[in-house]
Amino acid sequence: MKSKGAQFAYEGLDRVIHERARLSVLTSLVSHPKGLTFVDLKELCALTDGNLSRHLRVLEEAKLVEILKGQDGNRPQTLCRLTSTGRKRFLAYLETLEQVVRDAAAAVETKQAVSSTKRLVPVQP
Amino acid sequence: MKSKGAQFAYEGLDRVIHERARLSVLTSLVSHPKGLTFVDLKELCALTDGNLSRHLRVLEEAKLVEILKGQDGNRPQTLCRLTSTGRKRFLAYLETLEQVVRDAAAAVETKQAVSSTKRLVPVQP
């Protein structure tokens, strides 16, 4: 094999974001820019209370997500929202993720003109 | 929010495959159907000997990868290859991964006609 360096290293797959449950949470939040309640997130991601809490704590400590405590009528409500840092880092992560799909797709179906396929994730400014 | 069930749960993100180093190894191997030596894999994935060994062991135990011991002249050589189960499971994983990119891309750039973008990963038979 001709040396091509670390062609498949994918350094951009940020471990804070890549973990499956957190990827699920972040994709939910990027799809809901106004934020989601804890209860909605739990349902969308099929996570338990404990798991969601644990992963939200990791995301909050990394400043990717902000947690706002509020009220819905008389009941306390937790709102989760992507921060602007979170959005930026998630988009950077997505570019690498798309590269993985692109590399793998090129390998499994070389007949398809994969390299000419249009980008799914817009390039960041 | 209207209930949509576990829309972002991505159950197909198999944890054995999703871990970053293993995803890197599997993408390298799917791109090299004849297999790769330990040394080439290490370079392509930018992993240390110890890390690559550890992850190969996990992949071998899951029967996704086979490890063949041989010789290159006088030197022992280890060849790593995707099994047919490995290829099948990796392709199934890829379909979910592409869905993540698709969902996220749709959210970050709704102006773009993402839903009509052609599939990167061919549907399995």
Q: In CATH, what number is assigned to the domain containing residue B96?
A: 1.10.10.10
Q: Based on the structure, what is the number of domains in chain B?
A: 1
Q: Which residue range forms the structural domain that includes residue A44?
A: 15-116
Contact B121 A108 (CB under 8 A): yes
Cross-strand partners of A77 = A70
Query: Which portions of chain B are predicted below pLDDT 70?
Result: 1-4, 110-125
Sheet holding A65-72, edge to edge: A36-37, A75-82, A65-72
Give domain status of residue B3, yes or no. Answer: no
Residue B44 included in any domain:
yes
Q: Is residue A74 part of a domain?
A: yes
Looking at the complex, report in whole angstroms how far the Cα of residue A59 sits from the nearest Cα belonging to chain B: 17
Instruction: List the 2-61 stretch of B: residues with Cβ below 8 A of A.
Output: 3-11, 13, 15, 18, 20, 23-25, 27-28, 30-32, 36-37, 40, 43-47
Give the ipTM.
0.83
Q: How confident is the prediction along chain A (125 residues), in pLDDT tens digits per residue?
A: 444 689 999 999 999 999 999 999 999 999 999 999 999 999 999 999 999 999 999 999 999 999 999 888 888 889 999 999 999 999 999 999 999 999 999 988 763 444 444 566 665 55
Question: How far is residue B33's CA from residue A106's CA, in Å, rounded to a whole number?
Answer: 13
- Please report how the helices A49-61 and A20-30 are oriented relative to each other, as an axis angle in degrees rounded to 10: 80
Q: Flag whether A54 is in a domain.
A: yes
Taking the whole predicted model, whether its pTM rises above 0.90 is answered as no
**Residue B57 domain-assigned?**
yes
Tell me if A24 is assigned to some domain.
Answer: yes
On the CB side of A25, how many CA atoms lie within 13 Å of its CA? 33
Does A2 map to a domain? no
Which residues, at least 6 apart from A5, have a Cβ–Cβ distance to it below 8 Å?
B43, B44
Asked if residue B118 belongs to a domain, the reply is no
The edge-to-edge listing of strands for the beta sheet with B36-37 is: B36-37, B75-82, B65-72
